Amino acid sequence: MTATTATKSRLSLTLIRWFDSWAGAQDIPADAPQKIDWFRCLPFLLMHVACLGVVWVGWSWFAVIWAVALYALRMLAITGFYHRYFSHKSFKTSRVFQFVLAVAGNSSAQRGPLWWAGHHRHHHQESDQPDDVHSPKHHGLIWSHVGWIMSRPNFRTRLEKVPDLARYKELRFLDRFDILVPALLLACTFAIGAGLAAWAPQLGVTALQLTVWTVISTVVLFHGTFTINSLSHLFGSRRYDTPDTSRNNPLLALITMGEGWHNNHHHCPRAARSGLAFYEYDPTWWMLLVLEKLGLIWDLHPVPAQVMERARIRRRRTV
């Protein structure tokens, strides 16, 4: 095979991977060199560039509210479903609603549920050790925030970490074709924008405007989520002496619907609740309580009583 043919073959495979994320990715060794694959990440990069489209499409109150609502709902899907359910099994649900949770999380465009959970479980097993691919302690702030997700070895879904989830065909399908749900969301957004432009012109909404603001919401959601990998291991307080550098940060908790109480989480990772004190707001926990009341989920894993007691003792000492 000539060099030109080999290059064409690699490019073709990369194009296929944009639509079938498992194509060739599962054959990439986990210990392959950590190097950014810029061409593979072109859609991710173009989404950032597309945010500049706001200069041409402008804004409307409807578009801004739409973007904020999409951010909040999808952040809750990441924190409550991708993180607390798929990664840590913090509660139980039916197989049908499990798929609903997976679709909701996948709408964030942060890959499939098996990929997300597999990498997160690996993070907890190797937290802030050299093999933790997004540890700011070992790899620096920028790499821990966004570089690792663009690196070739990390495109692979760590199926060996999620055998409990990989046995479901529908989750494997969603993980393999993880572009499908985000693409449908954009298509629906465009259609809604076109409909509003035709039937409610007083709102000042257009199809392109609503689409661009959806992309803006998605990009902000990316970086809001990524702060837990990077900033929450650098800035904040430590209630518990965990073997990693996790920290509690109220600002990050606000951005991520309660995930900023990261030191609490690393001390008790399976708990369905991250905010332990009354002032540690945790909207994800509140959402899970509502879903439990509706009978859609059950057996929320509690914070052990001794952990809560230690939290109360430490609060009294700091008053």
Answer yes or no: is 31 within a domain.
no
Answer yes or no: is 22 within a domain.
no
- Does 313 score more than 70 pLDDT? no
The overall average pLDDT reported for the chain is 93
Answer yes or no: is 120 within a domain.
yes
The token pair at 192 is 């809604």
Answer yes or no: is 177 within a domain.
yes
Domain count across the chain: 1
- Does 319 score more than 50 pLDDT? no
pLDDT tens figures, 265-298: 999 999 999 999 989 999 999 999 999 999 999 9
Answer yes or no: is 12 within a domain.
no
HEC profile of the chain: CCHHHHHHHHHHHHHHHHHCCCCCHHHCCCCCCCCECCCCCHHHHHHHHHHHHHHHHCCCHHHHHHHHHHHHHHHHHHHHHHHHHHHCCCCEECHHHHHHHHHHHHCCCCCCHHHHHHHHHHHHHCCCCCCCCCCHHHHCHHHHHHHHHHEHHHHCCCHHHCHHHHCCHHHHHHHHCCCHHHHHHHHHHHHHHHHHHHHCHHHCCCHHHHHHHHHHHHHHHHHHHHCCCCHHHCCCECCCCCCCCCCECHHHHHHCCCCCEHHHHHHCCCCCCCCCCCCCCCHHHHHHHHHHHCCCEECCCCCCHHHHHHHHHHHHHHC
Q: d(Cα 35, Cα 143) in Å, to the nearest integer? A: 11
- Does 304 score more than 80 pLDDT? yes
Containing domain of residue 221, as a range? 50-318
pLDDT of residue 8: 58
Percentage of the chain beyond pLDDT 70 is: 93
pLDDT of residue 6: 52
Answer yes or no: is 100 within a domain.
yes
pTM of the model: 0.93
Q: Give the residue, 27 or 93, on which the prediction is more confident.
A: 93
Answer yes or no: is 61 within a domain.
yes
